[in-house]
Amino acid sequence: MGNVVVGISDLAVSKAPDVLATYALGSCVGICIYDKHSQIGGLSHILLPKSTGSASDNQMKFADTAIPLLMSKLEKAGAKRIYMSAKIVGGAQMFALNNNNNNSNSSVGQIGQRNVEAVKEALRKQNIKIIAEDTGLNYGRSVFMDLSNGIVTVKTAFGAVKQL
């Protein structure tokens, strides 16, 4: 069994018995998509919600472009869309919001929430059902997706572990 590590603004597709992992999700969102029949899965670590207006050409950086790319790679690897489901993790509010000024709804302060919303929209457009999520709040998470069974283990920055 090998670990395949996915960095920020990156994605990977593999099959059982591998484990896909990504570390230090703060406001970023990890998208785990799994085909239970083929035991093929993919993990994307997105940094920002939308590619519109960005100077970056890295499709893996944005929810709106990374998810279609991940779907394409999953299908090329043999996964079938009809058997796919998603689990999403991250989207934390990592920066304190100052309620004493008009920046409380700033794009920086709300980036985690915006990332989660963009991921949900992109998955909806791909007709992929989200079956579990661990999003929001104010702490970082690391994700481990076991492709032999589809279980996603989430380790929080303060040491808690949960399975999705």
Residues with a catalytic annotation lie at 28
Task: Assign 80 to helix, strand or coil.
Answer: coil
d(CA 19, CA 93): 27
Is residue 20 left, alpha or beta, with left meaning phi > 0 and alpha meaning psi from -120 to 50? Answer: beta
Q: Which residue has the tokens 């279609």?
A: 68
CA distances from 157 to 25, 27, 39, 139, 142 (A): 9, 13, 29, 6, 8
